[in-house]
Structure 1
Amino acid sequence: MGVEIERKFLLSSNAWEDEVEESLSMRQGYLSHDAQSSVRVRICNGLADINVKSTRDGIYRLEYEYPIPMQDARELLNKVAHRPLIEKTRHILRIAGHCWEVDEFHGENKGLIVAEIELGSVDEVFHRPRWLGKEISTDARYYNSNLSKLPYRYWAEGS
């Protein structure tokens, strides 16, 4: 059984940009999603995968991910996935022994930037970088699967 323990945060500044080690372009779409589970197809760096997640609290998830042929991924994204697709650049940062992923969204979710950290346990202590803002781990609006149903631009403050 795969498990993902993840915390998500908004950012308080763009100071994180100075710490980026790698950036990856991602395109993903959801074949199925509801309040507790999702099935996603993703293309990233010339590789494709299908992913199944299930959650009850937004932090602790069951997660299963498998590689699939690129042609299958493209067809699923083009013909089956819900719209809009999620397009983002994932920036990788390594800080105080943890890998942070900062997702900068494009397209329908342009303007949204979210930092994520995967942990070994729900109560694991971690260093909070100075650019970290409000925690949104349990705010379902920020789940990628929900951003494909109701994009950020429709509910963001100031919109």
Structure 2
Amino acid sequence: MGIEIERKFLLASDAWKDDVEKSLNMRQGYLSHDAQSSVRVRICDDRADINVKSTRDGIYRLEYEYPIPMQDAQELLSQVAHRPLVEKTRHVLYVADHCWEIDEFHGDNAGLIVAEIELASVDERFYRPDWLGEEISTDARYYNSNLSKLPYKYWAEDS
């Protein structure tokens, strides 16, 4: 069984940019998404995957991900996936033995930047860099599947 334990944060500053080790371009679309689960297709640079997630409490999820042929991913994104697609650049950096992924969103979600860290357990302790802001792990508005239904540009002023 695949398990993902992830914490998400808004950013307090852009000081993280100095430590970026690599950046990846992502385009993803949802074939199915509701309060309980989602099925997503993602193209990340030259790799394509299909992903199934089941949300439990916003931090702990069941997750399964498998590579698929690039042509299949492109067809699914162009012909099947719900609109809008989620487009982002993922910046990867390491702080105190943990990998941080900073997602900088584009398109209808432009202006949103989210930091994510995957943990081995729900109660795992980790160093919180000064650039971390408010935790949003359980705020469903920030789930990528929900950003494809109600993009950031429609509610950013309200937050």
- What's the TM-score, normalizing by structure 2? 0.98
The answer to whether structure 1 residue 28 and structure 2 residue 31 are counterparts is no
Where does residue 138 of structure 2 map in the other structure? 138
The residue number in structure 1 matching 2:80 is 80
Aligned-partner Cα distance in 2 for 1:56–1:140:
12
Give per-residue Cα distances to partners, 1:15-74, cap 9 Å, x unaligned. Answer: 111110000000000000001100000001201000000012000000000000000000
Structure 1 consecutive aligned stretches of length 4 or more whose deviation exceeds 6 Å = none
Q: CA RMSD in A?
A: 1.0
Instruction: Supply the distance in 1 between the matched residues of 2:13 and 2:144 (Cα, whole angstroms).
Output: 22
- Find the aligned partners of 1:140 and 1:158 in 2 and give their Cα distance: 15
SS of corresponding position for 1:8: strand
* 3-state secondary structure, aligned to 2:25: strand
Tell me which residue corresponds to 1:68.
68
Cα distance in structure 1, aligned partners of 2:82 and 2:96: 38
One-letter identity of the residue aligned with 2:7: R
Q: Distance in 2 between matches of 1:136 and 1:91?
A: 18
| 1:4 matched residue in structure 2 | 4
Q: 2:14 corresponds to which letter in structure 1?
A: N
Gaps of at least 5 residues in structure 1 are none
1:61–1:157 distance in 2 versus 1, CA, 3 Å: same
Taking every aligned residue pair, what percent have the same amino acid on both sides?
A: 82
Q: How many residues in Structure 1 have an aligned counterpart in Structure 2?
A: 159
- Structure-2 separation of matches of 1:158 and 1:35: 22
Map 1:39-50 to 2 at 5 A.
Answer: 39-50=39-50
**Residue in structure 1 matched with residue 17 of structure 2 by the alignment:** 17
